[in-house]
Amino acid sequence: MPEFTASERVVGRNSEYVVGERLGEGGFGLAFVATAADGRRVVLKQLRVARMGDWKAMELFEREARVLASLAHPNIPRCHEFFATDGARAVDPADIAQLGGDASLVLVQDHVDGASLAARIAAGERMTAAQAEALLRELLGVLDYLHGLHPPVVHRDIKPANIVVTPAGEPMLIDFGAIQERLRRDSEVGSTTVGTFGFFPMEQVLGKARPASDLYALAMTMVVALTHRQPDELPIDPETSKVVVRSACPGLPERLARALDGMLEPAVGRRLASARDVLVVLAGDALQRRENSLPVPAARSLPPAVYKAPLYTGGAAALLLYGFFFDAFSETDLVALSFVWLPLVLFGLGARLNDSIAGGLRWAVLGTLLLGVFILGVFPAL
């Protein structure tokens, strides 16, 4: 079917919609403001099958659209329905084959009233550090929700244009279209860069986006909103290629500067790994470095001479008996002479391993008892 036009009536499975102005184009299709039958304003995203290239791409988008339809968070526009239509009737997307090749997938979401951060920046509106921190905390809550799903949902295109602030001051994260771009990349050659240049980190360029990639984009968005400077205009450390947050945004509270700094690490392994980690930093707590959490061996208190003297003495006695005087004693004598050296060796080993004289005595006594049992009970039968 052709793209929607103003005043056109679109019949869904749950409601009817009167199409209004066109919002824009991206990914596989178009977005329109519309009015539902109950009077609420919604956004219709029309995804034309003919523009998807192949059925595999459509299958992948449908799978991801169902994930989006399952999202439930107050700072994400609610999805009302997802259907396929040929203009005359609407069916479940799984039954789109019934409609023929010129059908569309339609995703219906809440329309968010308010202005995007991009529009506010363009209008010259400035945020205070306190306002920026409050906004950051709310958006970290959204990312904590998305990244905590199974599997995690990574937005991949966080930027000022995709954060709308409502008249009540609530931020809304919109436009999950980069997810469909990732899926399209899986079925097409090329198109490896997903997101908006300047707001995504290096691993995303390589097609390896992960939850920490959204943290980088969110921090860059906040710095741009605070400075009204685009990413390529921000001061960069020439040695690390990292945005110098304190130079770009002088006067920030230290906890906010540390949080943004940790989110903007170019190397994903050094970056704050989760939204909760960032909230810990914003609370004024320092994250424990991973290597510091490994157990540290306790310092030894037993002097080395305590275990080395008997260990070496017993070892030397065994070497003399069995190396130099082996032929001077009978087999029975050699076994009995084990009482000369074995307790010393066992005491040294026990003291070394347990770091105590008591540990050495336990090993020596136990070894002596076992040797006695062997000599009295086992050796005569051999």
Which residues are bridge partners to 91 per DSSP? 84
How far is 334 from 219, CA to CA, in rounded Å? 77
> How many C-beta atoms surround the C-beta of residue 2 within 10 A?
11
The SS3 assignment for 108 reads strand
DSSP codes of every residue in 208-235: ---HHHHHHHHHHHHHHHHH---GGGS-
How far is 116 from 111, CA to CA, in rounded Å? 13
Phi, psi torsion values for 224, nearest 5 degrees: -65, -40
> How many C-beta atoms surround the C-beta of residue 202 within 10 A?
13
For residue 45, say whether it is annotated as part of any ligand binding site.
Answer: yes
Q: Give the chain's end-to-end CA distance (angstroms, integer).
A: 96
By C-alpha distance, which of 153, 214, 150, 221 is closest to 183?
153
By C-alpha distance, which of 145, 143, 135 is closest to 114?
135
8 Å CB contact between 110 and 33? no
Structure tokens at 351: 């003291």
8 Å CB contact between 298 and 289? no
Please, is 52 exposed, middle or buried when counting C-beta atoms within 10 Å of its C-beta (0-12, 13-18, 19+)? buried
8 Å CB contact between 274 and 211? yes
8 Å CB contact between 97 and 67? no
Q: How would you classify residue 251: left for phi > 0, otherwise alpha for psi between -120 and 50, otherwise beta?
A: left
By C-alpha distance, which of 258, 276, 260, 347 is closest to 306?
347
Q: Which residues participate in the annotated binding site for ATP?
A: 45
Q: Which residues participate in the annotated binding site?
A: 45
